[in-house]
Amino acid sequence: FAAEVPKIDPAAAAKLVAEGKAVLVDCREPSEWAETGVVAAATTLAKSDFDGAQKDWKPFLEKNAGKEIILYCRSGGRAGTVAAALAAKGVKTSNAGGFKAWEAAGQPTRKAGAKK
């Protein structure tokens, strides 16, 4: 059974990221990032890379060892799956749900590919 991953709302997540205690990851796919943009503070790391070679995920996790990893996707499903897999490896994680919730909460967004 999957590890229970705490849920966190966008405002609380943004505060932890701003304080440097956590990093925010958009684990949707590149086509989705291009379509909707991403949360301004987010690092874009596709779930397909997490499930595969982890060429982007591995260095990111090494660089951010010890920080909480807060994930979001379109609706929260993929973020929960990745968060549970990381939690099973001892990484502190939270599921911040979906991109729409971030937009609804008034969190700043940016075009995918633009520097954060």
* CATH code of the domain in which 60 resides: 3.40.250.10
Q: What is the mean pLDDT of residues 66-94?
A: 96
Residue 5 lies in a domain: no
Residues 54 and 12: their CA atoms lie apart, in Å, by 28
Phi, psi at 51, each rounded to 5°: -75, -20
Q: Which runs of consecutive H residues, i.e. helices, occur in 52-105?
A: 57-63, 77-88, 99-104
Q: What is the mean pLDDT of residues 57-72?
A: 97
Residue 3 lies in a domain: no
Residue located via tokens 């291009």: 34
Closest CA to 39 of 54, 58, 60, 22: 22
Residue 114 lies in a domain: no
Residue 85 lies in a domain: yes
Q: How many structural domains does the chain have?
A: 1
Which structural domain range is residue 65 located in?
10-107
Residue 75 lies in a domain: yes
Residues 72 and 50: their CA atoms lie apart, in Å, by 14
Residue 60 lies in a domain: yes
Per-residue pLDDT at 13: 97
Residue 25's H or E segment, with its range, is strand 22-26
> Would you say residue 112 has pLDDT above 90?
no
Query: For 11-49, what is each residue's pLDDT tens digit?
Result: 999 999 999 999 999 999 999 999 999 999 999 999 999
Per-residue pLDDT band at 1 (split at 50, 70, 90): very low
